[in-house]
Structure 1
């Protein structure tokens, strides 16, 4: 795949709107503000969840969510995806009959932005997944990915208050998705990978958001062995990453990063002193 097969469109009128206010000096300002809207997901005839989302790629979001919740299997045949923008509803239809009434009773709200939701038995396959032990992460790739992704026009840079997730291979960013919740952005990538038959082998997952338990679980579910974040960690996220042998790199800004799990995959092939500091523009946006 070439670099940036999918990229954010910060100028898309449906994803943000301009709102007026005043700054700390009382000066009138107009800022782009991200729009969020509810999207209710049905699997066949069963209502699964209502998510807050920016509204782009509802088909990938729906597929990825169901895959990462173990409600949709890799071998399932999807017979249709119907989306109604006016109603804010997306319906995924499968050849296999589905019934998740018991699973839906075991619902947990996560620390994700816009209230992520997982279901009680989402860990049922976690311990059985073996991540590629041959995968490596060159430190030069970390710096190259951070630079390329941070320079790509996005809602994250334009308006803040949003998270970006990027599927990568070596030093090449491939698929860049954004949403108000990082869990939605990673689900969009999972749906895209499934729909287009993209293997997780040798892939890297990059996110602007925190490395929480939910993000680790979803990355392992997708069988991606390496994750890089601009942000920090939670203790449970690190613990789960260590259990799964997931390489977990956080606080990746400028020439700095920290690896708290899967250190054996790191290949130190560049002197950090030769890496330029991150521009103040990206530092300001990251703080939003």
Structure 2
């Protein structure tokens, strides 16, 4: 368990994830500031090149596995025989017991609205209509308030250098795994990879993101089997439509005591008076450029 109490969380002190850059401020004075790193990572599934992703470079194994899962290139019962990562050439290879060939699938790419040019493949919606999210899952408002406070005050690369998205896997009022990356889709995939590699089920989980509740975020969360998706940011119309179709609880604009639910409101248990909840501390408030 990390020092912050998460099972896995960002390491703001890792010198490979951010660098010091010299510049000039609005007064014309020299400044030194930290900025996050961004580098390509090429993913292979067995002998086939799948995609090159722009990422901060941490947890390449989890990112690779999660990406393949969320693109329907790995099945839940697939056996991974090995993951090889070469940091000199920025290549990660996932090897499976099952033979794979996705040459035709790779021709059907769709750019998403996610930053850092997220990509999904044309058949990723296969099976979306048959998603069966746990109807007995609940979200207590006391859990929601505790989670947003714990996440927003946790040590992070965002607080260190900005220009990054965060996603957190939670259970009840406890944040479990916190991942950050230059694209929110990468942060989601890292969590999906962690769940797969550790045999963690989705039924009682809550997914938190700092980014917009877009169609991509809804699709990935629902396909992962997680019944509740929360963001401190806003919604897109298609994201809301897909959430309602899948029976996903969708909560956005969760800041301090305030939030808005646009899908799956029946799972929410109002067990605390919002008047007893403090407003968000401005010192820890994330800027719109990062969340929107």
Cα-to-partner distance string for 1:176-214 (whole Å, 9 max, x where unaligned): 011000000010000000000001121000111111111
Q: 1:159 to 1:167 in 2, by over 3 A?
A: same
Residue of structure 2 in register with 1:210 after alignment: 212
1:44 equivalent to 2:42? Answer no
Alignment gaps of 5+ in structure 2:
none
1:276 & 1:223 partners in 2: Cα distance? 32
Alignment gaps of 5+ in structure 1:
none
Q: Secondary structure at the match of 2:158?
A: helix
TM-score by length of structure 1 reads 0.98
- Give 1:82 deviation, angstroms: 0.6
- RMSD, aligned CA: 1.2
- Give 1:32 deviation, angstroms: 0.9
1:98 & 1:34 partners in 2: Cα distance? 35
Q: Secondary structure at the match of 1:48?
A: strand
- Give 1:158 deviation, angstroms: 1.3
Residue of structure 1 in register with 2:238 after alignment: 236
Cα-to-partner distance string for 1:102-146 (whole Å, 9 max, x where unaligned): 111100111111110100000001111100000000011111000
Aligned length: 288
Conservation of the 8 A alpha-carbon contact between 2:152 and 2:285? no
Q: Could you tell which deviates more after superposition, 21-30 or 72-81? A: 21-30
Conservation of the 8 A alpha-carbon contact between 1:64 and 1:189? yes
Conservation of the 8 A alpha-carbon contact between 1:156 and 1:285? no
TM-score by length of structure 2 reads 0.96
- Give 1:90 deviation, angstroms: 0.5
Residue of structure 2 in register with 1:267 after alignment: 269
* Pairing of 1:16-55 with structure 2 (within 5 A): 16-55=18-57
1:75 equivalent among 74, 77, 81: 77
1:123 equivalent to 2:157? Answer no
* Pairing of 1:1-288 with structure 2 (within 5 A): 3-285=5-287, 287-288=289-290
Q: Secondary structure at the match of 1:80?
A: strand
